[in-house]
Chain A
């Protein structure tokens, strides 16, 4: 995703490396680097929020929708966002 966004010209690679470096250097980062992907995600979220491309609240909301969708999806079936009971258009349309 980072590579794709960079290729769209949304940020420079040096800009990205700077954010990633700042995240992995934070005092709460695991000393053994086991949280590298969490740091990577945090760096991407910060960068996107600063660029106004995806705000923190927006990501929270859609992530919650994905989590609800995952719970609502029967085991063995692919999880799709439409399975979120709170955002399904048919349900919201039926609500008076």
Chain B
């Protein structure tokens, strides 16, 4: 497999279609610069600033871009807010569409067939396997990502965090809580 990848890179470089240095920059960006901390900042801002939360609800693409995070594939973002009544869960049943600009690269399980099929058929069961048992009367909405539209879950703000700074709040926001397979951390 490695030889075929190198072969593609060689052919495309010879034809001037790619620049190996540009690829190194892209890889470095996603490996070291872009990650779920971006999404955590978005969520912490939404928790702290009702106007921003409102903007995020109406036009997540623009609100997120205002913090400097925009997608490379021209995709649109939609933020889905957890409430006391409803929990949101994100999946990509087709392949692995994922909000890279705010969460970085997807975890292995997100790309695996069991999650991709079962998140839709039995979301409550899947969440239990992640250690998250929701009250029976809590509704679960499953959002199926596409190449054009990616979702970010805004978890509920944990109790006893009044007056916390955005930085401190962001530490409670985990990657999984923004996919919907977990809740935000409790205030310690």
A residues within 8 Å of B by Cβ?
Answer: 1, 3-8, 10, 13-14, 16-18, 20-21, 24, 29, 31-33, 36-38, 41, 44-45, 48, 53-54, 58-67, 70, 81
Contact = CB atoms under 8 A, between A and B. Distances in A.
A74 B12 CA distance: 27
Interface of B: 1, 3-12, 15, 17-19, 22-23, 26, 72-75, 94-97, 108, 111-114, 146-148
Contacts of B113: 24, 29, 31-33
Contacts of B111: 33, 36
12 contacts: A1-B12, A4-B22, A6-B73, A17-B147, A18-B147, A41-B1, A48-B8, A53-B12, A53-B17, A54-B8, A54-B12, A67-B3
Contacts of B94: 17, 20-21
Interface SS of chain A: helix
Interchain residue pairs A-B with the least CB separation, the first 7:
A17-B147, A33-B112, A62-B7, A13-B73, A63-B7, A21-B94, A14-B147
